[in-house]
Amino acid sequence: MADPSAYPPGTFGWVDLMTTDPAAATAFYGAVFGWEVGNEPFAGGAQTPIRADGALAGGLTEIPAENRAAGSRPQWFNNVVVEDVDEAVRRAGEHGGTVHGALLDLPGFGRVAIVEDPTGASFAAWQPDAAMPTPRFNDPGFLVWNELNTHDPAAATAFYGGLLGWAPRTGAEGGSLPTTTFVLGDRMVGGLIEIQPEWGEVPPHWLPYFAVAAIDDAVATIRERGGTVHAGPQPSPYGRIAICEDPQGAAFGVFEATAAA
């Protein structure tokens, strides 16, 4: 059963890979993170569970053919916990967000709404079911951080502040690009970085980071298995990071913590 302390409202509690090739994705991420993708019923059949060392790490969903035809591309999808998803939908609209499709009730997982912020980045507002198993965070092979890439930091900051109560804390990522850290009380919940012109046509998105024990080994495996490393490994205030893409085109980050982090 779910541990309520693992899902504080306003924090990221789940991540789901939307992919066009579940078998290829399973082989790739299994090599990189040691993940195993199960085949048991989960989230009302909408997802397949991903585990590492027997612990729940996230979910995997195959993009339906009709969604592919409409332009859906492989991506990691991030879920933010809310107390009441219907209320979150109402507030999202008040603050300039857009809700796509109907709210979904997924047995054993929870009630979900797909929300797009005013800058174009999407996430899920998620009200967890009491029967939802508790995933693991922060250890190698598990979700450790989420960072918003956007063209309009001011609009994004206002939206997430109004919807989720996040407060911005501005600094510099390793002395390079200015970044914003979102905090909720005394807890860091995510980051924000402005998309730079030299990056090309990068759409606004939430980028999940997964912890690894040795980033150089992880990056080597990503390349060997057909993935792409777009940046890094490079230093950050808390460790070393790299921005990567799986063979199907879903972007993600890897993070190796420093001893003091």
Q: pLDDT by residue (tens digit) across 174-200? A: 445 557 899 999 899 999 999 988 888
Between 52 and 131, the higher pLDDT residue: 52
Q: Is residue 136 part of a domain?
A: no
Give the domain extent around 244: 143-257
Residue partners of 211: CB distance under 8 A and separation at least 6: 138, 139, 140, 141, 142, 143, 144, 254, 255, 256, 257
Residue 35 scores a pLDDT above 90: yes
Average model confidence (pLDDT) for the chain?
A: 89
List the CATH number of the domain containing 28: 3.10.180.10
Query: Among 62, 96, 128, where does a domain finish?
Result: 128
Both 124 and 147 in one domain: the answer is no
Band (pLDDT 50/70/90 cuts) for residue 240 is very high
Q: Is residue 137 part of a domain?
A: no
Q: Is residue 189 part of a domain?
A: yes
Q: Is residue 63 part of a domain?
A: yes
Band (pLDDT 50/70/90 cuts) for residue 2 is very low
Number of domains in the chain: 2
Tell me what pLDDT residue 241 has. Answer: 94
Average pLDDT over residues 95-109: 91
Tell me what pLDDT residue 8 has. Answer: 86
CB 145 within 8 Å of CB 255: yes
Q: Is residue 90 part of a domain?
A: yes
Average pLDDT over residues 35-41: 84
pTM over 0.95: no
Both 117 and 152 in one domain: the answer is no
Helix (H, G, I), strand (E, B) or coil at 154: helix
Q: Is residue 134 part of a domain?
A: no
Tell me what pLDDT residue 121 has. Answer: 96
CA gap 47, 17 in Å, rounded: 9
Q: Is residue 43 part of a domain?
A: yes
Query: Among 128, 157, 174, where does a domain finish?
Result: 128
Tell me what pLDDT residue 174 has. Answer: 47
Q: What is the DSSP string of 229-261?
A: EEEEEEEETTEEEEEEE-TTS-EEEEEEE-TT-
CA gap 32, 50 in Å, rounded: 13
